[in-house]
Structure 1
Amino acid sequence: MALDFLTGCFGWRPTELSAFDGTGTQFLMRLLNVILVIPAALAAFGTRKHYLLIERHPELSQYPYDQHAGLAFFMTYITCVVIFPWVFVSFALLHKYYKEWTLGYGIINLGLAVSLTMGLTLQARFLPASTDGCTGSKPFEWQVLEGNQSFFERAARLDKGTKDKTESVCKDMVNDWLTACAVVFFQSVLAYLSVFFDGRERSLLNPMRPFFLLVMLILTPIVLVCNIFTKIIIPHLRLYTSFVRKITTQLLRRRWGKKEPDIQLQPRFRPQWTGYHMPKTKLMNVLNIEHVLLNIVEYLHHEDVVALGATCRAVREAVYPSADMHFRLKKLKQYACSTGPAPTSCIYCNAPLCTTCRVPIFHPTLPARRHIYCIPYCQACYYTSFASYRPTPTPNLATQPRRGPRRCKCGVAEEKQSFYDCCRKCVKGDVGQLQKERRRSMYAERVDKRYNQRLVLAHGGPGRGGIHSTSCDKLAPLSADVSTKAESSSK
């Protein structure tokens, strides 16, 4: 197509819009040509009469009347005379030369619409907007200056010889002006369709292009104001608000002092067995003797001890007494799984494992116990003590710069834990679910350790009246497993 440059040039391409074929545009252009025939003829003949009237009587275009009255009727008359034959010519040419010469039709139609609009604009300076301004005494009082006759009264006296035809002259001029306005409307629509006729998506003459530009023209200032408000004004307001709040907090702390946090010690959990009547069974009577129980559980695996306690409520109370749970767990842990080298624990349930009851599994993607034993730092302590660590003494920071922060040793065991020790029960479970539970238990263990450290510091530390939580941490996995088995057996 000869107008391919409208889709972009030199690497630039317009915005992509909706594409369509030109069948509907061509149909509308022909329909408007047919509609324009009658209004253009009426406007041409009616305006010619008024133009000839002003030509015969030049005083109608002189002071005190509008000096461009003759030019206004002449432009309207000539444009309508050109439009009348043009609609027949363009109707015939559109059938054969639609895509190649449609832009030329559009330029001609646009020129005719502009010319007719200029003529009607000049007429609007001395004509009423509707025929309501031509009733009664209004045409005699329209734009009267210095006691002279109105334009319509003067035209009626010069044309008809009497002022009784003043209202008729006014209505004829206004009706012809309204007919020409209708011609302008249809001619403008025809010019728009013939100029913006290209249905290609990226063409500058796409019919949706003017609407897109209009929307962009309206929305661009709004988007610009919103960006200025959200990216400049609001951040500054938040900064000033944060600064004022910080200064106010500091002043209040200096005035009333800083309140120390009150850390309350949580009571130890104890199962509620008071409302339960414990039956006296023969097995319970035997297991209530502690040295007999310890001889029985000696060299037993951890899961076997838990299964023994889950036999019934009476046996569970004998193996795991609620009143002596703290010391009983230490003894059971000492006697169970005590064969071979130092026992390990299951990576999932933390159950103690000996040489015979542990099953090695290989999970290279499973994260190790990293950062469980790291000491948490606040921002100030990290940059003043931990991050400022230098492995070698630095006499002069100007010649030897400061080295990076010290790394923790929690990742040393990452490679060593490619093979994991697991109990026989967890081996049969789902790996994904077990890993999820393991991460949750590791996070809870880390929180408990930090909480216990804060308690030790708050109460003077171990050895000075503080609370030492090492024994509680070691017994937590076994007690948690016992509680779980106990609840399942009770249900």
Structure 2
Amino acid sequence: MLPRPHDFQSFCLLLHIISLPIRFVLIAPTVIYQGHVINQDFLVRHNAVLHNGTYTQAIVIGEDLAQKWGIWAFFWNLGACIIALILQPPLHIPLTGVDLFITIGLSHATYAQRTYIPQSTKACYNPSTLLNQRPPGANESFFAAAARLNGTVSTPTRICKAFVEEWQYGVSLCFFYALLSFMGMVIFLGTMRNLKQQILTLANTIKVCVIAIGKCFLYMPRLLIFMFPCLLYHTPVFFFRGSPMKVKGPVRAARRYTVKTALGVEQKAEVALKELQTELAKRRENVGRYQGPPGNPTPLADFLGVYDMLIMVDMYLHYVDVLNLAAVSRSVRESVLPATDLHRRLTVFNQYTCCDRERRRCWACPNQTCAGCYQLPLVPQVPVVYHLEQCVPYCTPCYYKHVAHAQPKKKNKYKSARCKCAPNPPEQQPNFYQRYIDILGTPKKTQRSLETLPRSVCRECNKLTSEELVAKKTEAAKSMLMKGLKSDGEKWLICAKQGCGNRLGSGPRFWICPKARCGGECISTLHQAWGESRNGGEDEIVGDESV
């Protein structure tokens, strides 16, 4: 049963794809074969005893053929690796012809060497084999004479093994070049058959192939630009990660300390600039707290105006209900949240509203919630919030001991020590380097799905969409991260390493992933880079500042 046309076409395409890595793999054995050929040919040509007729002339002929065809195979394989990427079937037929030509030449050379070279290295350890090769009138074999005349200290067995390895590499190269020739002819015949079925003329085929070759030349600089950073960056990184911990540990610690110092100066300037902008905006607008008219008196306003009655009502309400109650009218607002006593009233409402044991702060705003009033919408886990909720600070001694100088497992020796647990952004525009090496040359958005988590929010925030909730939380989270705060608004004061308990004084802040399977350092620039030691209660945010 004959194969279907599209199956045969797919088979030919697969053969062409397989032939490309074979050519790249052949670089190593070709170089080794060329090295053997040069050494043996030099030995024979520069010693008259080995080529003046004392021994068989097959030695001179065989080494001469191997030297010529070895050079051909060496330089051809280097060039064919690039040409094979450019010439697409059926224009690759010249490569197939040269491969066949080299196959014939190498086969001739290896066949000539069979007359004086054993086919196995085991024969080199048999003294009778070496002695039987002595020609009439000579008192030593060819390999014994070659060992004696060799520039370095050697033995007949070693010389014999060198010649055997040369012959074996020649046979291997003959096989692979014959395989490439066979695959090239099959690919050519399959491509021509496919073109014939598509009723394409030879001129159209050549035109399409020339256009494809032109595109290959056009994108060749992009390939070089892609490979250059890989060689320039990944190669030193690979050797650095493989170095002993006593070498790379101090280097990593010093590099992170330098980065933290520079980033800390930048963050301080950014925070000071934002505070100055906020202060100038307030002075420019000069808008104080709302001082509206008291409104028309109502029985409800008079009832809530009695402070004890207001507290008794608050004990049966939720925090959000009290805020909504204050929005009923102007007179009720003046009774519940007067402008002259706003902050103290909010603190009191936090104490008396909602259930005592299940109070919590809204995920997106300062409102208080409890088990009876909070809502659980599904919100995407964004990187900023992840860093705020997961990353913990280590003191400098704990960082040096348990992170920077920690010995990784053998399977993780060449992996990065950085934490990569944070989710990626949902839309990430490629940079200039990625756009240039993109084969289409157009920027693309890399879509990544983010994990959605239930978040405890108040009823007011539950009216917002998930995008609005994320935007609202992100702005606050960025400010909290830069100030070195926890997710609940309190400041980190103690090293988070279990069993340490040291205070986080002034100096660099090293943020670590608390997950047991990771334990790496988070290098996000969102975190506070440099901490300052404060006295008294300034390290904590309490009272009105937390509202």
- Scaled to the shorter chain, the TM-score interval is 0.3 to 0.5
After TM superposition, the score normalised by the length of structure 1 is: 0.35
After TM superposition, the score normalised by the length of structure 2 is: 0.32
* Structure possessing the higher radius of gyration over alpha carbons: 1
